[in-house]
Structures are given as structure tokens and as C-alpha cells.
A and B are shown apart, each in its own frame.
Chain A
């Protein structure tokens, strides 16, 4: 499954996935930081192959 900690290689923002619950860790308020960021999508549409698994 996709459970674990992920990082967007472009904006370096990290995300924790537990089941269908997402937690995003940001510095600053803007979210998502760039157009097309996988972290800005709902869990059914996130392409995890575009993210780095870090934990």
C-alpha cells in the first residue's frame, strides 16, 4: 500500500499517508507550491511513482 512518508521531488514538501488519511508538512502557507503537484490531489488520483518514498 501507499502508507508511509513521501516527498515531492520538486517542492520538497513531505506527506504522511495512513490509510486514506493524509498529513502534509509545510513551511509557509501556500499549498500546493507548484502546478500539478501530486500532493495537491485527492488520494485516489495521486501518482505515487512521481514521489520519493522517505519512510
Chain B
């Protein structure tokens, strides 16, 4: 039978884990100690009929980008073909974009992180000039903290996997 102290320690451990695994809490807290900085803004593109554009984003040296929210708005639905490539892998391909919102912090914490580079490829398949805009809220987290986080995330996945008793 565990003692009260052991149970309290366990509760503390779980509390700390919940804090770590929640992007909005952990990365926001890192901002307070200078290990992260808020980055919010938008991008806006106008494309003539049939044209395409590629925007290649690079993080400031020593930082990864952690998204909290990303959203898209278009002048006409279903005419833009968009590929989001992050660190050389296709992260999201949308053959016909409509207005969309991605609350990454809520949907799946630590999804869509840009470790070094991102490419945004957009083609306007409309017969007219169209616009597409994106809004985002994210944070630049130091690469050092990100490495620590990734290791902890992996350890937690193994330690708290509810299926663990079945494969051990």
C-alpha cells in the first residue's frame, strides 16, 4: 500500500507532466524566463490566374517555431492548391483551400513545429486574380529547450503508455 507521501509525489509528478505536455502552458512559461518569444502575425498573397508562388521561411538561428494557432482565409473557396512543407517533409497538402482554422495547441500539442525551415507553395487555379491570407500565433523556443522537451516527451510516452503492461 503506498504511503500518503508517495501518493502526493505521484500527483505532483502527474501535475508536472500535464504542464510539460501542454504547449500553451510550457512554451508560454518559457517566454517569462527568456527561453521563448511570442511571434504572431500574418502573411498575404495575391496571385493572378494560374500563377504560383513559393515562400521559403527560415527560423532565426538557434530557435524552433512552435505553433499555437494557424488560420487561412481565401477570396474564393476551392481554387487555391497549397502545400505546407516543414523541415523537408510535406506537413499539409490542400488541393482546394477554403477558410480554415487550426488550433494546434488544443488539437495536438507540438504538432507542426518548424525545426529549421518551412516552404509554402501556393497555386491559384482560378480563372481570375485571387487572394489568400494566413494568420498565426506561435512562439520561437530555443533549440536547447526544444531538445530537452523532445527527450522528456519520449520518456513520458513510454512511461505512461497505458498499454505498457501488455508488452512488458
A contact set with B: CB distance below 8 Å: 20-32, 40-45
Looking across the interface, which residue of chain B has its beta carbon closest to that of A41? B46
Contact in complex: B136, A24 (CB < 8 Å): no
Known pairs A28-B59, A30-B41, A40-B46 / 19 extra A-B pairs, C-beta < 8 Å: A20-B51, A21-B54, A22-B54, A23-B54, A23-B55, A23-B56, A24-B53, A24-B55, A26-B58, A28-B39, A29-B41, A29-B65, A30-B42, A30-B43, A32-B43, A40-B44, A40-B45, A42-B46, A44-B48
Looking across the interface, which residue of chain A has its beta carbon closest to that of B114? A29
A26 to B57, CA, bound (A): 5
In the complex, what residues of A have CB within 8 A of residue B98's CB? none
By size class, the interface of chain B is 20 to 34
**A-contact bits for B17-43, CB 8 A (1 contact / 0 none):** 000000000000000000000010111
Q: How many A-B residue pairs have CB under 8 A?
A: 63
Minimum C-beta distance from B155 to chain A (A) = 31
Contact of B48 among A26, A27, A31, A43 (CB under 8 A): A43
A44 to B47, CA, bound (A): 9
A40 to B45, CA, bound (A): 6
Minimum C-beta distance from A5 to chain B (A) = 13
Instruction: Say whether chain B's binding surface is mostly helix, strand, loop, or mixed.
Output: strand
A38 to B58, CA, bound (A): 20
- B75 interfacial by beta-carbon distance below 8 Å: no
